[in-house]
Each structure stands twice: as structure tokens, then as C-alpha cells.
A and B are shown apart, each in its own frame.
Chain A
């Protein structure tokens, strides 16, 4: 805005600004109107250009046909086009089998309404762009609406889909019976079941459904030829995309037939009639990416920041936070200048009190979490009693980046899930620049319930962005994230279904427990296993019991789709989007439960890799803390005092303690190693006793809770007769302090990155360890739907490293 000079006794600024604002608003409105008008003009001209192109091409085709006819007449005046049988033009059914009804095009040729050459022209257009042949013949002026309608009314009844498929010899009667049995047992649509059983190709199924519904199928030409598009919201609501412009109508790709009202609504938007053409799931995904790719990318990166900027980590530090930080540093500097020891002791006291409160709170949480009822548990009998017809469609999001070596394991693990495959919506999220993964997945014959989505390149390049992208067109009622190397318990989805069913409506997330399949690989994986065992077996269940915000784990968190979308899904700028989402769920009054089902992951076995991963986690916790602490008073109002304390213990203490620890370790070394006298000055009276309590009792409790966590898992696995952990794991709890040193290194790295590269995603390398041997697909009754075993083996052998232990 132009800055006007200030003058003594000038026009009141408020009044003048109001007037200026009014004029400026009018100007903006006019500018916007100009932009809209330009876009509308451009679109109208493009539409007409497309029409011109089509008309010209048809005219050229007609002239060619006329020349052929004239040439034929000259050569043999007795033989006209009409006498050329349709079969000679490469068309079937010139002499149809008596039991097979004539196809419409052939009937029109036989009735002398159109010529074989015209039929061929129309069929070429149909093959290319899709649609119903009758509509194309009318559009091309070869037949009238009346002629086609008359013939259509003579067509026999299409019958039921299954019968139609059997009649067309696309499936056998036995296969139909098998699919119907599945349907009776698990519910769902017959088509989905046939596809999930791999009894039918999607193209054949969709053609049959199109015929049954008297609509067309899309053609082989999958590029969009029209600049016309529907508003994204309407297109998303109806699941349709405008793909082609004929002269008299638009072809609209649909996932399922539209109602009359919906057709009218779309036609009103487009200003021309539409013809529905059925597209398979993969074809629709492709159209969506082509037409609405930029909107989808924008939604996956900016939705939360646009709609709820206060919950987005796009801005790392607010001005207020920087102001508070600068003020705190200045107060500290002033204190140190004027009252050096008093200031230092005050700071030390605050830190010691923080350690104390944190240790006590955490241990209380762990005690509460050790109660048997802290997790939702189900017996195999309860799982078996589930009526599979009640199970909803479940979306599984698997974000992957340069992890080709784990793909075979991933597919195998997903295939093992005990859930009707026809009700799965598995979405593999691949980054655009990950050529290896793209090639690998393109070569695989994945089952139809898998969708490979290429996430467009763009910043931020984070897992939550990929998940948001995958979520946009997800079909499930529930949604879960798995990492590529995850091995979820086979009954996990069913257990989550039971938990959601059993819990009150406000439970919007169920967290599965994570643990490691390579716990015994080396010292690092043993410590990591102990930590995870304590975190997921005791700490998180305890948090759930105490009803404080839960920082969710990175994977195996199952959401109600509607709630997740309502909250704006994941924050793509937060590198621990899971922890952040846990807090946002709590802020909105939703609750999280822990289910007694594990997902086995690969523990980081290399120190550098581990530090990278941990630094990302710490940085994410720092981001989360900064986002939700922009207004601490508002946060207290939103989550209550207990929630607030829990938030500090879980989100602040997790990265802060490893940052503070090195200072006190240094003091410890200086005191016990060198008897440096000044150390004594830091711990007078009360502070000494408090610090001693933390040193002896606090450290013991931390180590003890790790032991308890891992012991808990060992015992439970032994009782179940499942895979087992060695009791030897327990003894490695003693040197845990070395693990804490690594944590401090990671925390320092995280703090540095928070300032320099806040959104940078430190990628963790997976596939360093071969997962334990699993039963083969055959032995667990999985159809051979996924990659060729030979290819898989080759891939793994090339990229996987041997275990290091």
C-alpha cells in the first residue's frame, strides 16, 4: 500500500484509510472479474477450436470414404459399398452364430442404415476415446437418434453381472460360485471380489459393468483432449473427470454410474450434454493426476497451513516466541552479570525440578500403563466371531522412498493380513524422482486392490505430504499407515475394527504397538528394542489411561477417515507429523486407544543411520512443541492442566533432556574424576539432595522401565508361543547410558537443523537386515498375485546387506 505523508491537522487517517480501502476493494473486484472473464474467453475459444478440429477431421474422413466409394463404383459398378460384408472390414458377426445376438453396429450395417466404412470410422473413434457406439454414430451424422433407439429397444435384457460374465466366457460357473461364496461370507461387491481373487481382468469387468448399465467404456486414448474441466469439489464429490469433447457432448469418465440429478448438475456446469464412460480405478487415478494434479499437490502441502495456520509448522518460530526467547536470554545475561551464583543456582534448581517432575510423571505413567486393562485385548475366538460382512473398506497407506529392496517383503506382509482383500484399498506412495521404485512396481502384476500413486515432486518432500496425497482419493472408512518394512500382526485390522466398535464415538485413532524383528542383531538394536518395548508396551498405554495427549508412533496408527480429513490430516512441514497429529486429535476432543497388536519393524542397526533417524524425531518434537506452545494459555484451555503437563513431559522433555544431559555428565566427570571444587558450588543443600535423588533413583527408574518393558514383551510372546525375544536382552539394559550419549548427539543435531533446515526429512535407510523367514504364500493361501518370486529374490540379493551381529 502506498504510504501517504503525515501532516499536522491533516485528514483523519482512519477515515481516509476507510475510503481508500473501499476504492481498493472495488479495484480488486474489477481485477478479479477481468481474470475470470479472460479465463472464460480462453476456454470458450479452446472449446470451439477443438470442435473445429473434430469437424475438419470428420470432413476429411468423409471425403476419403466418398473417394473410395467412387473408386469402387468405377472399378465395378455392380459392387457398391453396401455389398462389402462387415467381416471384410475386419468386423465380426457378418454371419453371426444363431445363438449370439447381433451387435448393434452390425445390425445397423445389415439394415442398410450405415455402411461398413462408417461403422469402422465410428468404431475407431470409440476405440480411441470411448463411449457408446450408438452415440458416436449419431454424433457423426451416420444414423439418427430414432434409428439407434429403435435398435437398442430390440437388444436383449443384459441380466445379472455374474451371469453376463459367465455367458461372455470371462469366468466359469465354478469361479462365479466361488466368488458368490466369498460375497456371502465377507460382503462387498461381486466385481471387487472377482478382481481380488484374480479371476478377471479389471478391463473385462468394467466393460461388463458398462454394458450392464448401458453406458460406455473409455477408449485406449488416455490423454485428455479437452481444456474443459469441472470444479474440483464437484468432480471429487461425484468422482468424475471430463476427458473428451465430441461435437455434441462431453465424455465424462466415471467410477460408478451417475444419477439423473447428478447428470443434470454436470451438464449445467458444462453447458453441453455428457456421456458417461466407465473407467477402472487405475484409469481414474491417472485422469485425476492429469487434470487435478496441481490441486492435489496443493492440498497435500498447503491445506493445513491455509486452513489452520496456527496448527502448521510452516512457520517454525513466531515473532512472539522469538521475543520471549530473546527476553529470557537477556534476563539470564543480566542475572549472570549482577547475581552470578544466584542466577546459576536458580537455573539449576529449575532444571532439577524439571528432571524430577518429568521422572515422576513418566514413572507414574508407566505404572498405570502396566495394568492389564490399559490396552484393548482380544482373544482369537473373539476375532473369529467377527461377521466379515460388517467389515468396512480399509485404506492402507504405504509411503516409500528408494526402498526397492523391501518391496517384496512389504507385499508379502500385506498379503498375510487377515482381512477380505476385496475390502482393502492399499495405496503405495512413490516419489516422482524414485525411478527404481517406479520401474519395479510397474513391472509387477499387483493385485487390483493396490494402487500405485506417484507423488509429484515438490517441497516439502516429506512422508506426511505423501500420505496427504494418498489420502485425497482413498476409499476406506478407516485408514492406517505402514512403513515399507513393517510386518503387522495378521489380525491387526480386525482387532482395530473391534476396538473402534467397542469404544465410544470420540475414539478416532487406535495405535498398534511397534517392536523390532531384528532386536538381537547388535547392541544398538537391543537398546532400541528395550526403548520401544517400554514406550509402546507401558508408556503409551499409561498415557491413554491418564487421558493426556498421545504422541502417536510413526506407523500402525489407525484412524477414522472422516475425522482425519476433518482435522486437515498430517502436517507436511512437521517431521514427526504423527506426534503432532496425536496432539491435534486431543485438542479437538478426540481420543486415542492402544490395541494389543504388534507391528514388527526393522531397528536401525547402524549408528549413523540411527542418529539421522533420531535427530529427525527430536526435531519433529521440537517443531510440535513450538507449534502448540504459540499460545500456552490457549493450549491449557484446550487440553486442560493435566493434558498440558503431559504435553510438556512427552513433547518438551523428550528432546530437551538429551540436550541438557551432557552438561551434567561433564559435571559428573569433573567431580568424580578430578574433584573439581567448583562443581560443589552448583549443588548446595536442597539442590544436592534433589540432584542425588535423580541421579540414583531417576536413572535407576529409567533403566528399570526399559527392563520392565522388554521383560513384558518377552513374557507375552512366550505365553502366546509367537516369535520370541531372548531373555538376554534384559542384561543389555545396564549399559543403556551409552545409548543416552547417542541420543544427546542426535538432539544437538536436531536443534541445529531446527534452525538451519526445519523441514528437511532425514531419510532412514531400511532393508539393512533381512526379516525373519515367513511362511510362503502358498502355505497361507495367498494367490500368486504379486511379483514373480524370481524377480523378488534377485532384487533382495542385490540390495540387502547381511546381518551384522
Chain B
């Protein structure tokens, strides 16, 4: 900052420096937040997907059971003899 061009009515270098640091710090915080929220989301998503897969499997089982009961109840084919 000290190498920067000076002017008669300029800003105090240390103030500029501090302000820029503040902005950069905030940027870092937001980036961290982005990454942390993404990680949390992936966790939640995985849990939900797993849960859904489980229910889906239960549903498949139930549908298969339903089909089995229907087929079991089907009268046997007439014996040609």
C-alpha cells in the first residue's frame, strides 16, 4: 500500500488496508459457509435418498407380495386329461 500513488486529499493507507482486509475476511467466511452448507446438504441428501430407497424397497416387496397373493388365488389351469 505504501508504494501506491499518493494524492493531496487521499485516504489514510492503513484505513484502506484495514477495510480491504475486512472485505477479504468476509469473503473467506462466505466461502467457508458455502463449503460447509454444501457438505451438510450432501449429508442430508444422502440420508433422505437412503430413506427413500428403503421405502421404495418396502414398496417393491409389498407389490410383489400383492402379486403373489393374486397369483396364488388364481384357479389352476384345467387338466387336459
Residues of A within 8 A of B23 (CB): 20, 23-24, 27
A residues 32-91 near B (Cβ < 8 Å) are 33-34, 37-38, 41, 44-45, 48-49, 51-52, 55-56, 58-59, 62-63, 65-66, 69-70, 73, 77-83
The answer, yes or no, to whether A100 is at the interface (CB within 8 Å) is: no
Pick the residue among A11, A31, A59 that contacts B11 (CB under 8 A). Answer: A11
Residues of B within 8 A of A78 (CB): 75
Measured in the bound complex, the distance between the Cα atoms of B11 and A245 in whole Å is 58
Pick the residue among A12, A45, A112 that contacts B44 (CB under 8 A). Answer: A45
Measured in the bound complex, the distance between the Cα atoms of B5 and A440 in whole Å is 74
**B7 and A10 contacting across the interface, CB-CB below 8 Å:** yes
Residues of A within 8 A of B20 (CB): 19-20, 23
Residues of B within 8 A of A23 (CB): 20, 23-24, 27
**A66 and B8 contacting across the interface, CB-CB below 8 Å:** no
**A59 and B58 contacting across the interface, CB-CB below 8 Å:** yes
How many residues from A make CB contacts under 8 Å with B?
55
Least CB distance from A640 to B in Å reads 47
Nearest chain B residue, comparing its CB with the CB of A77: B73
Given A10-B10, A11-B1, A55-B56, check contact A142 B63 (CB 8 Å): yes
Measured in the bound complex, the distance between the Cα atoms of B49 and A27 in whole Å is 33
Nearest chain B residue, comparing its CB with the CB of A27: B27
Residues of B within 8 A of A77 (CB): 73
**A82 and B4 contacting across the interface, CB-CB below 8 Å:** no
| A-B interface pairs (CB < 8 A), number | 151
**A115 and B70 contacting across the interface, CB-CB below 8 Å:** yes
Interface size on B, as a range, is: 35 or more
**A4 and B63 contacting across the interface, CB-CB below 8 Å:** no
Least CB distance from A365 to B in Å reads 58
**A31 and B69 contacting across the interface, CB-CB below 8 Å:** no
Chain A interface, >50% SS class: helix
Residues of B within 8 A of A112 (CB): 74
Least CB distance from B71 to A in Å reads 9
Residues of A within 8 A of B6 (CB): 9-12
Residues of A within 8 A of B48 (CB): 45, 48-49, 52
**B63 and A62 contacting across the interface, CB-CB below 8 Å:** yes
**B52 and A20 contacting across the interface, CB-CB below 8 Å:** no
**A11 and B16 contacting across the interface, CB-CB below 8 Å:** yes
Residues of A within 8 A of B45 (CB): 44-45, 48
Given A4-B19, A62-B62, A141-B60, check contact A11 B13 (CB 8 Å): yes
Least CB distance from A740 to B in Å reads 60
**B12 and A4 contacting across the interface, CB-CB below 8 Å:** yes
**A12 and B70 contacting across the interface, CB-CB below 8 Å:** no
**B7 and A37 contacting across the interface, CB-CB below 8 Å:** no
**B73 and A80 contacting across the interface, CB-CB below 8 Å:** yes
**B44 and A10 contacting across the interface, CB-CB below 8 Å:** no
Residues of A within 8 A of B73 (CB): 69, 73, 77, 79-83
Interface residue ranges, B against A (CB under 8 Å): 1, 4-13, 15-16, 19-20, 23-24, 26-27, 30-31, 33-34, 37-38, 41, 44-45, 48-49, 51-52, 55-56, 58-60, 62-63, 65-66, 69-70, 72-75
Q: Provide 16 A-B residue pairs closer than 8 Å at the C-beta atoms, listed in order of the A residue.
A: A4-B15, A6-B9, A15-B4, A23-B20, A27-B27, A27-B30, A30-B30, A30-B31, A34-B34, A45-B44, A45-B45, A45-B48, A63-B62, A66-B69, A80-B72, A141-B63
By Cβ-Cβ distance, the 3 closest A-B pairs, closest first, are A80-B73, A10-B10, A62-B62
